[in-house]
Amino acid sequence: MEKAEKIKRLTELSIFFPFWNEEKNIEAVVKQAIPIAERVAAKWEIIMVDDGSTDRTKYIAEKLASQNPRLRLVSIHPNRGYGAALNEGLTQAKYDVVVFTDGDRQFDFSEITTFLEVLPGADMVIGFRKKRNDRNIFKRLLLMSLLKAWDFLLFHFYFRDIDCGFKLFTRHALSEIMPLRSEGAMITTEILAKAKKKKLTIREVGVMHYPREHGIQTGANFAVILRAVLESFILWYDLHYGRT
């Protein structure tokens, strides 16, 4: 956290984490974020978005929220998907700068300082994983390559790591891209496609990516992929025929 001392402290910051069956991760994710939030922002909040978990995730979130007034729980039931969780977090965030990381402990939230270094003059800052540490890594890399090609073909943009779960938004950016419609994995494509259409300034920064120690990865299963394909066609239609 040495870099934090060289960065102008934010006036306010909303942080949120999407969780789905992360009972073994949620407490560590939130408690590690609290001192970092204290250092980088004068006013801050942490929103725990529980997307219909069937384990103890919601119970733990309620307990954490009861211990700190700056923590709050937003609960979605039944489970609706990753995009729904991100949309809820972005909608519920009340401060001028909003950041999220996935709630699976594969990112180090202290790297927000790298985002803040490049934030002046940007509307959004998005992470890219310097080296992915996923299970079934070859399958994941193949899917990422296909997603990049798909998004370039349909939406004419290219970013190094489209679905990296570490992104920061200014309030201006959110006012331009909200509301979001995708409820599955295509949410990140929707965010970037709308940002491109609105000519927002987006900067990319490299972040570390760590192996998942607990919980189940679902991003590469067939149902998620099929839903993403269907949502991409809906997004293309919306962008071309005036819904966004």
List the Cα angle 136/139/143 in 5-degree steps. 135
Q: Specify the 3-state DSSP secondary structure of 20.
A: coil
Nearest C-alpha neighbor of 13 from the set 37, 49, 47, 39: 37
pLDDT(193) > 60: yes
Radius of gyration of the chain (CA): 17
- In this prediction, residue 99 carries a pLDDT of 98
Across the chain, mean pLDDT equals 90
> What is the pLDDT, as a whole number, of residue 215?
57
pLDDT tens readout for residues 102-141: 999 999 999 999 999 999 999 999 999 999 887 676 766 6
Q: What is the pLDDT of residue 4?
A: 42
Superfamily (CATH) of domain 2-240 = Spore Coat Polysaccharide Biosynthesis Protein SpsA; Chain A (3.90.550.10)
For the chain, what's the residue count? 244
pTM over 0.85: yes
Instruction: Parse the chain into domains and list their residue ranges.
Output: 2-240
- What's the pLDDT tens digit per position in 146-179? 777 888 888 999 999 988 999 999 999 999 999 9
What is residue 77's DSSP assignment? S
Q: Give the lowest-confidence range in 60-64, 137-141, 177-181, 199-203.
A: 137-141
Q: d(Cα 115, Cα 202) in Å, to the nearest integer?
A: 11
